[in-house]
A = this chain, B = another copy of it.
Amino acid sequence: MSEHDKLTEDKIFEAATEVFIEKGMDGARMQDIADRAGMNKSLLHYYYRSKDRLFDAVFEMIASKMLKKFAPVFEDNLTFEEKIRFFFREHISFMQKNPRLPAFLLNEINRHPDRIRKFLANVNIGNVWDILYSQHKEDLDKYHITREKIPQIMTTMASLSVFPFAAKKLLEEIFGKVGLKFNDYIEERKTFAADFVIGALENMNRYNFNDESKTQPHDKKKKK
């Protein structure tokens, strides 16, 4: 495999990445990708056998790129609060540079859940949460946060950072009507989300005691 080969193969991959993110798997056309790469359509089939395989390659690259951005959150030398701030700062900044990735990934995962399965096969999410929990047991106990709350808290943090990008075009449309720039909003969000989460966690204990009647299904039947 020569120097030039790698170049054309990469050009295909890059063009495919652009088109797939823009149009999605169903909306993308092999001819579009060939045009954007500036070459004959047959070359796409020469290097990647089919549209499906080409998409798989692109999807895997993007998914793992996204996954890797989550990893540094679990570094040990940070306090719980620092981790939260670190997460929002880094994760949102990453999406700022790749604003279409969240919508693309969510859509394709919902459409073909099996594609993400092999990714999560290698990740023991329960373990990760357990480690995170034990690392900060003191902080979490102080806030009266039990292990069962971890899924809610983790998905909450993901919500706060990912949703604005998943709904980017909608928010841009809305913000446009009140003279707000999406990028300003995102810049502000890095700290707002962190402040918000930390503030909520500090008040968490309150609702564990006072509102036991109001918050109905807190103590659900744990299966077996």
Q: Which residues of A contact B (CB under 8 A)?
A: 23-24, 26-27, 85, 100, 103, 106-107, 109-111, 113, 116-117, 120, 124-126, 129, 149, 151-152, 155-156, 158-160, 162-164, 166-175, 177-181, 184-185, 187-204, 206-207, 211, 214-218, 220, 223
Q: List 18 A-B contacts (CB under 8 A).
A: A24-B107, A27-B111, A106-B106, A106-B107, A107-B107, A110-B167, A110-B168, A126-B177, A126-B178, A151-B175, A159-B159, A159-B163, A160-B160, A163-B166, A181-B223, A191-B211, A191-B216, A195-B215
| Assembly CA distance A199 to B151 (angstroms) | 18
Please, which residue of chain B has its CB at the minimum distance from the CB of A194? B215
Contacts of A201 on B, CB cut-off 8 Å?
A: 199
Partner pick for A199 among B85, B103, B110, B203, CB 8 A cutoff: B203
Flag if B189 contacts A152 (CB, 8 Å).
yes
- The complex is assembled from copies of this chain, and their number is 2
| Assembly CA distance A188 to B207 (angstroms) | 13
Please, which residue of chain B has its CB at the minimum distance from the CB of A220? B184
Q: A103-B107, A159-B160, A199-B199 are in contact. List 17 more A-B contacts (CB 8 A).
A: A24-B24, A26-B26, A26-B27, A27-B111, A85-B214, A103-B106, A103-B110, A109-B167, A113-B173, A151-B178, A152-B188, A156-B160, A158-B163, A158-B167, A191-B211, A191-B216, A198-B203
Partner pick for A106 among B170, B180, B181, CB 8 A cutoff: B170
Q: With A125-B177, A196-B200 given, is the CB distance from A159 to B151 under 8 Å?
A: no
Rounded to whole Å, the gap between the CB of A32 and the closest CB of chain B is: 13
